[in-house]
Amino acid sequence: MVGHTQLKLRMAIVGSILFGLYLAVAAVVLTIYGTGTGVIALLTLGMVGYPFVLYKFGKWSAIRGVGAEDMPEQATQRYRYDEIHQATELLCEEMGLEKPRLMVADMGVPNAFAVGRKADGVVVISREIIDLLDRDELDGVIAHELAHIKNRDTVVMVMGQSIAALVGWVVFFIIRARGQQGGFLVAWLGSMVAQMVVTVFLMAISRYREYVADEDAAQYTRNPEAMARALEKISAGGQGKEMKAESNVSALCIFGGERGLLGTLFATHPPTQKRIDRLRSY
């Protein structure tokens, strides 16, 4: 599909930029500590091992951030968890994926998100969204999250957020080390600006990946209308409510909330109505 080609191109460009920033951090370390054999050996080890740590920590942090727990495979008095597992299995067969680990959480709003790779993916679904949606609508949400795993964009998002934080910390310590006037405040502002610059690059794929996942969900469920209704209900159900999670988790969710003009410029999600209109045009 054209959308997948464009998404892969965007991820390749953003990935290259993030890798360049990662190398820039290494260059700063060498500038500060010299190019001795020991420093280079430690830096090489850190450069190789740190991405693995970033990925694992980012995944763990997202799950822990919402207090997610494994979804039971049996139905309870209130929830038909067994039907969610069955629907996920059928969709995974259709999409050529291994079934991810299913988890459930109380997020305060109807929402869902995915983290991880194809081999170790995790889909977290809020109890609020299970209460809110009809069966075919929930199937659309599950397919949407599976699409993120299939398209590998969750890895780019988690790694990108972690690299943004790393770049921010490096800028902070560089400014502090130079003893600039204003001290901590100047260093903190410089750190925030650096993170914002990296975030702008991430936005190049963050909003677009939602359109692609919506399209995939419509394709694999063969029911774009159900996906459109799900977004309408999720948007209405989240109005005036706060999500029980950090902002980095919100960026991974199917619904990122509506914002004002400034927030729109740095929004992780496209406008919900545009997503709904696109689904109903298929």
- Examine the residue annotation and report whether 242 is marked as an active-site residue of this protein: no
Q: Residue 261: what pLDDT?
A: 46
Q: Residue 134: what pLDDT?
A: 96
Q: Considering the candidates 128, 137, 145, 210, report the single residue annotated as catalytic.
A: 145
Query: Which residues of the chain register pLDDT less than 70?
Result: 1-3, 29, 32-36, 39, 43-44, 47-48, 179-182, 245-248, 256-266
One CATH from 3.30.2010.10, 3.40.190.10, 3.30.70.360, 1.10.10.10 for 69-150: 3.30.2010.10
DSSP 183: T
Token pair in block for residue 143: 């397919």
Averaged confidence pLDDT in the chain: 85
Q: Which of 150, 161, 193 is nearest to 18 (CA)?
A: 161
Q: Residue 22: what pLDDT?
A: 76
Which tens digit of pLDDT belongs to each residue from 68-97?
999 999 989 899 999 999 999 999 999 999
Residue 179: its H or E element:
none
Please compute Rg for the chain using Cα positions: 20
Confidence (pTM)? 0.83
Token pair in block for residue 186: 């100047």
Token pair in block for residue 33: 């500590």
Q: Could you tell me where in the chain the CATH 3.30.2010.10 domains are found?
A: 69-150
